[in-house]
Amino acid sequence: MIIHVVESGDSLYKIGQEYGVSPYRLAIDNGIEYNSTLVIGQTIVVQFPTMVHTVKQGESLYTIAKQYGVSVISLYQNNPQLNGRSTIMPGEQLVITYDQEKLGSFEVNGYGEPSISDDLLRKTLPYLTYITPFTYGLTQSGSLVMLNDNHMIDIAKEYDTAPLMHLSTLTEKGNFDSARASIVLNNQTIQNKLIDEIIENMNDKGYYGLDVDFEFINRQDAEKYAAFISNLRSRLNPLGYEVITALAPKISAMQRGTIYEGHLYKEIGTASNAVFVMTYEWGYTYGPPQAVSPLPNVRAVLDYAVSEIPREKIFMGISNYGYDWTLPFEKGDKARSISNDEAIKLAIQYGAEIQYDETAQAPYFNYYDKRGREHVVWFEDARSIQAKLALIPEYGLRGAGYWNIMRPYQQGWTVLNSLYHIKRISE
């Protein structure tokens, strides 16, 4: 795999000629149209197929996979144009292998809402070990708020992707409620009843494990939260279910702030089968413009995490979005959340040149809108995704967790698939 950075005069045809690959393949792997306009600074992932199969009448993905000794999932991963569909047509060309050795293997989790389109879900699932429908909540009395996730789970299982149940204290208004968490954490009867409800739901729906995400926990409830996770694990593990706990991005045990103080890394790491560390949101909706996941900040969090939690328990968070800020930024201003693909379209629309911050390992650009207002956009591209993914084997982590999969970003999945083997539960 080569990451080509677009220069003046580049086109997919010209880049294809330079590297000896099909411009059609470049379009597929990067999730763009064949005739797309390119913008200076944009990244184009270039892969080099070593074995290509032309589909014959009567063949299926299963028979082709069997013929070459590969999995159907790998055919989906290597051929994004399939969009996760099982039907293929005579004359279609499928990439079997690329001239690229995998650098390692790890697990990948993706968070998504049941409202995700079937097309996007099917296209994304081949790149995921786990899928986590977002979210089951808590009532004001500490009971489980159900989620209509059956359809999402059924599709996930078609792709050998294991579903994880997601439990949070997110309210109907979209805020994390420390009071609802406190009810569960401080009343053993309510807590045990909630766990009973969780187990019943997991059994009914065929979940693989539980992902717990209680945020903005009161400091006085921190130890009780770790005890709750331990209680969950003691109840769920004997039934074959794992317990994963989401953690705010701390850099020290003494870090202040409501988002941090309720999460005790060492205690929760001990209580959980695994943890998901939210290594993103330095650039956020109401914050000053900056990279969403600056690499030095991510490293600082991981350095602390591995000092408190076994490395093999840690999933590193990866952001699948960017922000568009109007300048000058003033406290209280709200940035617009955008997809990485939308960022590229904005740069093309306004003729902006994409820059790359080597320290943050993140792309950005400035533009002026039709009203003459200056904007700055920070997002992710192939270079920033590669830099983040490289941390997982470097630190010896269990895997990656993507927040979230609701926006298509084929280039990011292409980078992941090119560099690493994505583990499946069935392996």
Handedness of CA 152, 153, 157, 158 (dihedral sign): negative
Do 43 and 6 form a contact (C-beta atoms < 8 A)? Answer: yes
Mark whether 394 is an active-site residue.
no
The string of DSSP letters for 330-350 reads -TT--PEEE-HHHHHHHHHHH
CA 267 from centroid of its chain's CA atoms: 25
| Alpha-carbon separation of residue 319 from 36, 278, 385 (angstroms) | 25, 9, 9
Considering 107, 215, 342, 380, which one is annotated as catalytic? 215
| Alpha-carbon separation of residue 269 from 1, 244, 275, 312 (angstroms) | 36, 9, 7, 11
| Alpha-carbon separation of residue 402 from 4, 189, 279 (angstroms) | 24, 34, 10
Q: Give the H or E element holding residue 319.
A: strand 314-319
Q: Give the H or E element holding residue 400.
A: strand 399-403
Q: Could you give the angle at the alpha carbon of 259 between the alpha carbons of 255 and 265, nearest 5°?
A: 60
Do 225 and 217 form a contact (C-beta atoms < 8 A)? Answer: yes
SS3 sequence, 242-284? EEEEEECCCCCCCCCCHHHHCCCHHHHHHHCCEEEECCCCCCC
Handedness of CA 102, 409, 406, 276 (dihedral sign): positive
Which residues lie closer than 8 Å to 390 by C-beta, 6 or more apart? none
| Alpha-carbon separation of residue 37 from 6, 9, 221 (angstroms) | 11, 10, 53
| Alpha-carbon separation of residue 256 from 249, 259, 262, 286 (angstroms) | 12, 8, 10, 19
3-state secondary structure of 316: strand
Q: What does the block give as tokens for 290?
A: 């900056």
Active-site residue list? 215
